[in-house]
Structure 1
Amino acid sequence: MKQLKYFLMLVFVSIGTLGSIYSNNTKPNLDPPDEFKTLVEFLEGRVDFVKGNFPIIPAEEVKKNLKNESYHIIDIRTDSWFEYGHIKDAVNVPAEELLSYFKATINPADYEKIILVCYSGQSASYYSALLRMAGYDNVYSMKWGMGSWREDFADTWLKNAKSSFEDKLETTLNSKPSSGTSPVLTTGKLEGKEILDQRLESLFAIPYSDFIIKSEDVFEKPEEFFIVNYAKTSDYSLGHIPGAVLYEDTSLLSNTDLLTLPKDKKVAVYTTTGQEAAYLVAYLNVLGYDAGNIAYGENAFMNNLLKKNGRDAFSSKEINMFPVIE
């Protein structure tokens, strides 16, 4: 009888031990995957502009290649402006339809360069960034947009190139905050490309106008923004928006200062023309940050100072008289 008792006890202990081992080995991992990290690692290997190499080409290059079949021009302005006047052989595609146009209408690989054109070059740069992230690395934006093509279209820049806040600029260095946590992405996807596809689909559905920040709003209420001046140290020292923090070249990579950006505050990015900033804003929004572009960049508030220091200032010298189709 005692032997039977010991035998039964041994059986129960063995079953309990096996059950514990089985339970530990099959316990599900309840931690969600870090989609942000997966997406960053995927994108940093395929986009150059996050390292400061912005794919912006001058109007002169486009003009010289009007007969070059390897150049394809896409005008994303409204159909009324397109009808008023556009570059020869340009096609009019609404911004929200760009991704489907690339997938279903053309074979992007047939072209050496696909140039996006808009009014000032800023929205074209934003969508160029989204398309490059999608894998179309032959997409470019035209510098100054149609504002540099012909005088008829230059009003956008001429009216917005101002020096209203030059007396409000500061020259002191504002330190970057310590690295924090990243935005949380919840697409439910595991692979970088799948996560990116979901993010791009969402962003193409939002008009670029939702990402525009007026310079006067930033000067009046700087505390409402985390202000990023993406520039060279020498340009930053010339004068910047009060409170603006300097980011340059590779500052927005995951192994440098990307995580110093706040995930719970509007990130207002600006560069000299606003076009470079548009590329960065697209990138940051794909990653889940709440980022906006200070419209027309430094040209919107320190145009004269840019001219005096030989920097990228819009003026009548930037306006050509190239032909258009009406």
Structure 2
Amino acid sequence: MKLLKGLLVASLVTSLSLFTGCSDDDDNNDPAQTQFDLLSAYTDAHLADWTASGWIKDASDVYNNLAARYVIDMRSAADYGTGHIEGAVNATPSTLLSVAGNAGGKTIAVVCYTGQTASWATMALRMSGYADAYAMKYGMSAWNQTYAGSWDGGCSDTYVADFVTTAPPALPTYDAPALSGSQTSGADILADRVQAVLQGGFLTKTAANVFADLSGYNVINYWSEADYTTFGHIPGALQVSPGTLFADQNLSVLDPAGQNVLYCWTGQTSGFMSFYLNVMGYETYSLKFGANSMIHGNLGGHAWGTGGIADYNYPVVTN
């Protein structure tokens, strides 16, 4: 009997030591997750939905479905007052979410001068639960020809001779940004970050800014590789294909300690994605008017003024 008790005690001690050892190993292999870890796990699970087709639509969609749309106008109060889409509500970045809360179940359509700020704001809305919110493509410039000057003035061929058609360079890998905060869930961190980016406003750079200091920015071309080499690109620009800026894919090409400049065809897609990138902790600027501000005449169907996009003359009201 004594022998049996001794064996049982020895077995229990061995089991406890093994359990404790495994517990210590698990603790050492499971370091506390950072705010970025929690946020990126959450955004990676939702980014495909936020960026799904339908985040930007023609002015005709707003006009033909106006009764079912809640239009948010991001232009200045003065310009809104001189003419806006019937029923539109004026908002600023800091009031966007509170204004959106009055949508009453209608689909939100965001409007600005050119579609760029509206695209930026649309990502904020989609990240905040307005899954079907969208930007009106080309803004008021495409609603009525009276407002087309905003886009007409943004187009240029100034940098045609400066574009190069070299193959894309190898993509760098940077460390993740350090985010401050006390939230412990990805959803709560996201909500705080969305508010912070809205308060900071839409960050943009012009082509002149970039070409004046090509080595001072981490420039990212947001096209396919084929378009990058066919249409040409800003010298030294990285090439990142649309749909690959997940944390587990190409997000690490963003410099957490520098100024990142993202560009596309028109500044609308880059505006949309720049909101997300700033939420993730990267100081990211959208290049105003995109390639249209640099090589407008070479862009074919990607150019402002083609395909009837400026032919609408929909009505505006002043009340």
Question: If the length of structure 1 is used for normalisation, what is the TM-score?
Answer: 0.84
1:288 aligns with 2:281: yes
Q: CA deviation at 1:180?
A: 2.7
Distance apart, 1:91 and its partner CA: 1.5
Q: Structure 2: which amino acid aligns with 1:90? A: A
1:49 to partner: Cα distance: 6.7
Conserved 8 A contact 1:49-1:55: no
1:318 alignment partner in structure 2: 309
CA distance in 2, matches of 1:181, 1:54: 32
* 2:118 paired with 1:133: no
Question: In 1, Cα distance between the equivalents of 2:51 and 2:63?
Answer: 28
CA distance in 2, matches of 1:180, 1:217: 24
- 2:80 aligned partner: 82
Q: Secondary structure at the match of 2:219?
A: strand
Residue aligning to 1:254: 247
Letter in structure 2 aligned against 1:313? A
Residue 7 (structure 1) aligns with: none
Structure 2 contact 50–123 (Cα < 8 Å) conserved: no
Residue 52 of structure 1 deviates from its aligned partner by 6.9
Distance change >3 Å, CA 138–CA 52, structure 1 → 2:
closer
Secondary structure at 1:45 match in 2: helix
The letter for the 1-side match of 2:38 is T
What are structure 1's unaligned runs of at least 5 residues? 1-20
- Mapped partners of 2:296, 2:184: distance in 1: 46
What is the CA–CA distance in structure 1 between the aligned matches of 2:62 and 2:89, rounded to whole Å?
14
Do the aligned partners of 1:44 and 1:50 also contact (CA within 8 Å) in 2?
no
Residue 63 to residue 150, structure 1, CA distance change in 2 (3 Å): same
**C-alpha deviations, 1:73-96, integer Å up to 9, x for none?**
111111111111111121222221
* Correspondence for 2:264: 271
**Structure 2 unaligned residues grouped into runs of 5+:** 1-19
Matched, 1:303 2:301: no
Deviation string, structure 1 residues 40-71 (Cα, Å, up to 9, x no partner): 111122233776746100011111112x3x22
Contact 1:176 1:260 in 2 (8 A): no
Q: Tell me, yes or no, if the aligned pair for 2:38 and 2:185 is still in contact at 8 Å.
A: yes
In structure 2, which of residues 197, 207, 216 is the aligned counterpart of residue 215 of structure 1? 207
Alignment of structure 1 residues 204-243 onto 2, 5 Å: 204-208=198-202, 211-237=203-229, 238-243=231-236
Alignment correspondent of 1:39: 39
1:95 paired with 2:88, answer no
Flag the 1:261–1:50 CA change in 2: closer, same or farther, 3 A. farther
Report the AA paired with residue 318 of structure 1: I
Asked whether the equivalents of residues 225 and 267 of structure 1 are also in contact (C-alpha less than 8 Å), the reply is yes
- 2:50 and 2:126 in contact (8 A); partners too: no
Q: Name the CA shift for 1:258/1:33 in 2 (closer, same or farther; >3 Å).
A: same
Give the alignment's TM-score, normalised by structure 2: 0.86
Is the 2:111–2:136 contact (alpha carbons within 8 Å) kept by the matching residues of 1?
yes
> In structure 1, what is the Cα distance between the partners aligned to 2:148 and 2:303?
14
The amino acid across from 1:151 in the alignment is Q
Q: Letter of the aligned partner of 1:239 in structure 2?
A: G
**Equivalent residue number for residue 4 of structure 2:** none
Alignment partners' CA distance in 2, 1:213 and 1:59: 26
Question: Would the alpha carbon gap of residues 174 and 49 (structure 1) be closer, same or farther in structure 2, given more than 3 Å must change?
Answer: farther
Cα deviation code 1:229-268 (max 9, x no counterpart): 1012221112111111111133211222111222111110
Distance of 1:182 and 1:274 partners within structure 2: 25
Deviation at residue 198 of structure 1 after TM alignment: 1.3
Q: CA deviation at 1:217?
A: 1.3
Counterpart for residue 153 of structure 1: 147
Quote the residue 2:58 is aligned against. 58
* Aligned residue identity for 2:55: P
Change in CA separation of 1:130 and 1:51 when aligned onto 2, cut-off 3 Å: closer
Identity among equivalent positions (%) equals 28
Given residue 304 of structure 1, which amino acid in structure 2 is its aligned partner? G
Whole-Å Cα distance in 2 between the matches of residues 115 and 158 of structure 1?
23
Count of residue pairs brought into register by the alignment: 296
Alignment CA distance shift 1:53-1:303 (3 Å): same
Q: In structure 2, how many angstroms separate the alpha carbons of the residues matched to 1:185 and 1:94?
A: 25
